[in-house]
Amino acid sequence: MLLRKAGRLIESAPKSDAHDRPRIGVLAIQGDFDAHAAALREVGAEAVLVRKPEELAGVDGLVIPGGESTTFLKFLERDGFLIVLQEFVRSKPTFGTCAGCILLAKEVAHPAQQSLGVLDVTVQRNAYGRQIDSVIETFETKLPGGPLEMVYIRAPRILKTGHDVKVLAEREGFPVLVEQGKILAATFHPELSADRRVHARFVGLVRTHATNHS
| Structural domains in the chain plus CATH codes | 2-208 (3.40.50.880)
Catalytic residue among 11, 42, 179, 191: 191
Rounded Cα distance between 64 and 88, Å, is 12
Please confirm, yes or no, whether 189 is among the known catalytic residues: yes
Please confirm, yes or no, whether 101 is among the known catalytic residues: no
> How many angstroms separate the Cα of 84 from the Cα of each of 47, 60, 90, 175, 205?
20, 15, 10, 29, 21
Catalytic residue among 98, 101, 179, 209: 98
Catalytic residue among 19, 36, 189, 209: 189
How many helices and strands, by DSSP H and E, does the chain display? 5, 14
What is the average pLDDT across 45-70?
94
Task: Check whether 75 has a pLDDT greater than 90.
Answer: no
Rounded Cα distance between 158 and 53, Å, is 28
Helix (H) / strand (E) containing 192: none
- pLDDT-derived band at 57, boundaries 50, 70, 90: very high
Please confirm, yes or no, whether 213 is among the known catalytic residues: no
Listed range (25-39, 69-83, 124-138, 183-197) with the worst mean pLDDT: 124-138
What is the average pLDDT across 168-190?
96
pTM of the model: 0.88
